[in-house]
Chains A and B, each alone.
Chain A
Amino acid sequence: MTMTSQRVVPPATVVTITADRLAEQAGQLLADGARLALVAAHHDPDAIRIVYLFTAGPPDRRTELHLRVDPDRPTVPSLAALSFPASRFEREMHDLYGVRPENHPLPRRLVRHPHWPAGWYPMRADAAPRPPLAASEPFPFVTVQGPGVYEIPVGPVHAGLIEPGHFRFSVVGETILKLKARLWYVHKGIEKLFEGHPAGQRTALAERVSGDTAVAHALAHCLAVEDALTIAVPPPAQRARAALLELERLHNHIADIGAICNDVGYGIANTHAQRIREQLLRLNHATTGHRLLRGGVFPGGARLHTVPDPATIQAIADDIASVVDLALRHTVVRDRLTGTAVLGRQNAADIGTLGYVARASGLPFDARHAHPHTHLDGLTIPVHADGDVLARFLVRADEVRTSAAILTALLPTLTADPATDERILSAPGHRATGVGIVEGWRGTITHRVELNPDGILTRAKIVDPSFFNWPALPVALADTIVPDFPLTNKSFNLSYAGNDL
């Protein structure tokens, strides 16, 4: 198969700006309907360079604002007044690179908990080995005061197979007044692990950013590398990738549908969901050799051992529809889901939520539509307006149908190996950057890579939709009762690993 020279996605427009024009430019882009997809700092030999990536679509538009700051006293004007996600990116940058956001309304630590040494910034190129951690950690939380207010601390270690995170509820009776979620217990410096390796050899690491999102993260990484090296992947391989992405969506959505039912004590629906998920995992294993679809996507192409039968997919989708129907016809289940933990449209938009969380609050954003890497027949974007647990449940149920429709259209056009072939990535000969945007099952995933002239990764920035969606959880939970928290949490089902990086 020959490589065409036609690019799949448009290259990003790069604008180099100065600090005093940042807010104006960013404000203009946001006003034009772009969203802030990613902010990444880079420690160059002579400067710390901040890249603000704004994306919009369709048509697919990507604009990067590059701002160079003094590496000795790095400061940036805070964009917190314009964009809530920007305020969190800035705090992340402060913790990892020591870039101080000026006029930030809440310049507290985000990634590095207080027991990490001050003044040590692990992502800097010249970061020394980690100094010893402080023995004890001050754990300040905003205390809600008033008669009858008490706190419930939960975690970071939870019952069941959940990742670590600390939740501090301030409660009156059973009603949640305030929830503070403290994350980054599994911060592991995964972005740093990409650095110094040849582009194309870190796909396996990208697959492990968040275990349940192997395809989407691998694909976003590969798209970014291909964007940097201006490789055009043959259309059959792009279609195979799109099919893998939908398979990933299916097995995660049915697991969530079951888990939401299980959290309201309706075990039979979960048992069926688990049965269906197992069918999908076995199908995944036959398709890529791995139950969670690892190994299917690589820079330059995609690899399928076998192509799933569209009839099987359709049967599974029908099976899922019957489980959803079983759950929704149960009045108690429906009562538990309806009106629980409402996330309003304006809140969802302000926080910058993505994926099913956004679509359940009436925001029809989908990267498959806005930033397509291949044409998809059968793509519809299900949107529900209520913003409650039921809406997030229904969006998943609708997306299962959409995924099945997409797969039914895609699968007959695919063949197993050797439909695509692995291409040796050549060095670009100059510094190159690339962006990959993928609609993973949780929402839009953005990866941005930088390569040196030899094709070695010098920086990889990963943004999982969980980073955007986590702050929405406490907002949705205000005035919800404590026993509905696990249900709400499941309806968001955010990744800790993908957030903590």
Chain B
Amino acid sequence: MIPWLLAAGQAVLVMLVAPLLIGLMRAVRARLEGRAGGRVLQPWRELRKQLRKEPLIPADAGAFFTAAPAVLVATSVLVAAVAPFLSTRGPLSGVADLVVVVGLLLLGAVALALAGLDTGTAFGGMGASREMIIAALVEPTLLLAVFALSTRVGSTDLGAIVAAGATRPAEVFTPASALAAAALALATLAEAGRLPVDNPATHLELTMVHEAMVLEYAGRDLALVEWAAAMRLTILLGLLANLFIPWGVATDPHPGALAVAAGVFVVKLAALGCLVAAGEVFLAKLRLFRVPELLAGSFVLGLLAVVASSVLA
């Protein structure tokens, strides 16, 4: 019973924190660029506004379009519940391993891409096609980067990897882990639609990737899609933080340890979010056909990390 409550609590935490993370990143970037910017709470205000509005569905859209927000939110919430963010022992330990988590994230991406196609508009199809190019390169990198750690632990269970990292860091982490961290970081930026792969702040439809797929969403559906997108960023940054800085994660479900874990998790997220936002000030968007080069590079980093950590034991 307790692991299930814990998982629910973790999901609620991610759902609450995700829009705040977006708000924080926007605020940091605005301040660094010398702009006033919005408040940290602004994305929550926007969500609240959108949630109260009725969704409008294009005349030509079908089931994929209406189902995608729900699928996207469901997969995000599920990953948020089972990933080792607060505790290394979730209710589905042994089942919800790395492959399942990446698969769930991919399921959400594919649902959204199908929804983009389903609208029948040129922008939706264009965004979907670009998203699939990126996803095809990002998902293997996500897997590979974490395999570099799992080969040392002997398990693809994310909780086990984090627990091993926290208790036996000398055995788990090798210099190759830095390569894996770099690969995972690049994959995270690409998967979450951040610079230099996608520009979340643009209004130019023809340059969009993620935004092009969701152009037709309105009201409640738009709120769900944006909320889920924020959760996916939170999940990816959370995984990056906990896999490579595993300290502070509770290894037993003691309330005090969990409270500390929640605090540490939020601090890690905020720190990573600030880092990404600060980095984006210095970045520009790559030409679309250079993106595969970048992602292939991150894939190679992941591959090297796996080879190095399994061979150079």
Interface residues of A (CB under 8 A from B): 150-154, 159-160, 174, 261, 263-268, 271-272, 275, 330, 332-333, 335-336, 481-487
Contact = CB atoms under 8 A, between A and B. Distances in A.
Contact of B207 (A152, A266, A275, A483): A483
B207 A153 contact: no
Contact of B281 (A174, A268, A275, A333): A268
Contacts of B203: 159-160
Contact of B285 (A151, A153, A159, A264): A264
A265 B284 contact: yes
A416 to B, nearest CB: 33
Instruction: Specify the main secondary structure of chain B where it touches its partner.
Output: loop
Given A152-B122, A264-B284, A275 B206 contact: no
Nearest to B290: A335
B206 A154 contact: yes
A154 B122 CA distance: 9
A296 B206 CA distance: 39
A481 B290 CA distance: 12
B28 to A, nearest CB: 13
A178 to B, nearest CB: 15
20 contacts: A152-B122, A154-B206, A159-B204, A159-B205, A174-B289, A264-B284, A264-B285, A265-B201, A266-B284, A267-B29, A267-B201, A268-B32, A271-B33, A271-B34, A271-B35, A332-B286, A335-B286, A336-B286, A483-B207, A483-B288
Interface in B162-199: 195-196, 199
A152 B206 contact: yes
Contacts of A268: 32-33, 281-282
B39 interface: no
B312 interface: no
A263 B285 CA distance: 9
Given A263-B202, A481-B288, A486-B204, 13 more contacts: A152-B126, A152-B206, A159-B203, A263-B207, A265-B196, A267-B281, A268-B281, A330-B284, A332-B286, A336-B284, A336-B287, A481-B287, A483-B207
Contacts of B33: 267-268, 271
B173 to A, nearest CB: 32
Interface in B255-310: 281-290
A130 to B, nearest CB: 33
B123 interface: yes
A487 B199 CA distance: 14
A271 B286 CA distance: 20
Nearest to A332: B284
Nearest to B122: A152
A43 to B, nearest CB: 42
Nearest to A263: B204
B288 A174 contact: yes
Among B126, B201, B206, B285, the most chain A Cβ lie within 10 Å of the Cβ of B206
Contact of B206 (A151, A267, A336, A483): A483
Contacts of B125: 150
A151 B284 CA distance: 28
A336 B285 contact: yes
A335 B204 contact: no
A333 B35 contact: no
Interface in B16-37: 29, 32-35
B289 A154 contact: no
A151 B122 contact: yes
Contacts of A266: 283-285
Q: Which of B284, B286, B287 has the most CB of A within 10 A?
A: B284
Contacts of A482: 126, 206
Contacts of A152: 122-123, 126, 206
A335 B294 CA distance: 14
Nearest to A161: B203
Contacts of B204: 159-160, 263, 486
